[in-house]
Structure 1
Amino acid sequence: MKRLIVDMDGVLADVYSQFRKYEQLDLGITQDEASLIGKTEREAFQHVRTYVNTPGFFLEAPVMPGSIEVMRQLNQQYDLYIVSSAMEFPLSLYEKYQWLQQHFSFLIWEQLVLCGSKKIVYGDIMLDDHFKNLDHFDGKTLLFSQPHNMKRDPGKHQRVANWQEVQLVLL
């Protein structure tokens, strides 16, 4: 069975919606997705570090449309692991675990890898929204489209726009 590595933030959890929500509440600024294209999270939002260190930020993030159903299917056909960086923002460790338990309860604790660097991760396929995580990976790589990566050529990575495309590619 092939090992599939799936990122959380920006792939399963809609953190861009969280950033927009927090910025609207904090500063009264409403940004549409088009205004974010080509900008990193830090370039797009004024108080990124404050928001990600606010209790509830990760716990209350919306689920990406279609992800639960497709992940349920992927879990039947792959050796599936959720791998998410969680050490940089200490509050995120517990909140990410709780979020995954709430929305993806069909996954067991052994499938959840909350780590620092993803450079130690190996497998056959990786689905992530950041080049920094995909570029070092030796297997097949799927780049999940997010505003911060939209202006970049995917290069050796296969771009997927949403969970319907993930389903077409992997199932």
Structure 2
Amino acid sequence: MGQIPPASMRCASAFSPIPSSRAIAWRSFEMRIAIDMDEVMADTHAAKLALFAARGYTWSEEEIAGRHLSDLAGSEDAAQVESEMQRGLFFADLAVVQGAQEGIAALAQDHEIFVATAAMEYPASCPHKIAWLARHFPDISPMNIVLCGDKSVIAADLLIDDSPRHFTGFGGTGICFDAPHNRGDQVSHRLTNWADAEAMVSGFA
């Protein structure tokens, strides 16, 4: 993996919600932060619950803690939900995770922000993900959106992701964003909500 250039040499992203500053060509950043989309920025979990509810499934928080929903449903129903997600339109109208817009805007004051989503798991989702980001996070430049598979290719200081498996091979520090399916995972750093993001990230700067 190539070396991350010093913060003082990095080109600024277009994500610059800074008062009285319309456009800044170059800025010094403390860190480069890569942020996952699904269950971190976009509430994929709620949308998947709705798909399973339409097939007659309801689960308590205790039942889904540490489990993937597809493992709790019948194999045929799980396959149908997976097929619907593979068509891509599922990703078009997801709700925004509570506090994500405010939390990411706060981080963007001092850090270079990239979105890194494993979209290759659902190739048809790509145009919908890009449109979703443009609608809900318009200050994030398209040049700062990475649609990938293996996130070990990402060169960043921090990766905020709900799937700890993406930290394997990643050259920076992984921060696990809390989600029902990862509650049983042992991780070094866990972010439970976006309100705490700025304080947690400041400890790595």
The one-letter amino acid of 2:43's match is: D
Aligned to 1:3: 32
Q: Distance in 2 between matches of 1:5 and 1:41?
A: 26
SS of 2:152's equivalent?
helix
5+ long unaligned stretches in structure 1: none
The one-letter amino acid of 2:174's match is: T
2:111 aligned to 48, 66, 78, which one?
A: 78
Alignment of 1:146-157 (within 5 A): 146-154=179-187, 157=188
Structure 1, 78-87 or 68-77: larger mean CA deviation:
68-77
The one-letter amino acid of 1:102's match is: R
Structure 1 pair 22–74 and aligned structure 2 pair: CA distance change class (3 A): same
Shift of residue 132, structure 1, vs aligned partner: 1.2
Q: Distance in 1 between matches of 2:69 and 2:165?
A: 14
Shift of residue 12, structure 1, vs aligned partner: 0.5
5+ long unaligned stretches in structure 2: 1-28
Shift of residue 81, structure 1, vs aligned partner: 0.2
Structure 1 pair 92–44 and aligned structure 2 pair: CA distance change class (3 A): farther
> Is the 1:6–1:127 contact (alpha carbons within 8 Å) kept by the matching residues of 2?
yes
Aligned to 1:95: 128
Structure 1 pair 56–31 and aligned structure 2 pair: CA distance change class (3 A): farther
Shift of residue 55, structure 1, vs aligned partner: 4.4
Q: Distance in 2 between matches of 1:139 and 1:90?
A: 26
The Cα offsets for residues 12-64 of structure 1, whole Å up to 9 and x where unpaired, read as 11111010111122x12222333211112431452441231244311111110
Match status 1:34 vs 2:62: yes
The one-letter amino acid of 1:35's match is: E
Higher strand share: 1
1:159 aligned to 172, 182, 190, which one?
A: 190
The one-letter amino acid of 2:161's match is: D
> Is the 1:22–1:51 contact (alpha carbons within 8 Å) kept by the matching residues of 2?
no
Alignment of 1:1-171 (within 5 A): 1=29, 2-25=31-54, 27-45=55-73, 46-47=78-79, 48-154=81-187, 157-170=188-201
Q: TM-score, normalised by structure 1?
A: 0.90
> Is the 1:6–1:128 contact (alpha carbons within 8 Å) kept by the matching residues of 2?
yes
The Cα offsets for residues 55-75 of structure 1, whole Å up to 9 and x where unpaired, read as 431111111000001111212
> Is the 2:67–2:180 contact (alpha carbons within 8 Å) kept by the matching residues of 1?
yes
Q: Distance in 1 between matches of 2:67 and 2:151?
A: 22
The count of aligned residue pairs is 168
Q: Distance in 1 between matches of 2:118 and 2:185?
A: 22
Q: Distance in 1 between matches of 2:72 and 2:33?
A: 30
Alpha-carbon RMSD across the aligned residues, in angstroms, is 1.6
Moved over 4 A (4+): none
Q: Distance in 2 between matches of 1:5 and 1:34?
A: 30
Give the % identical residues.
27
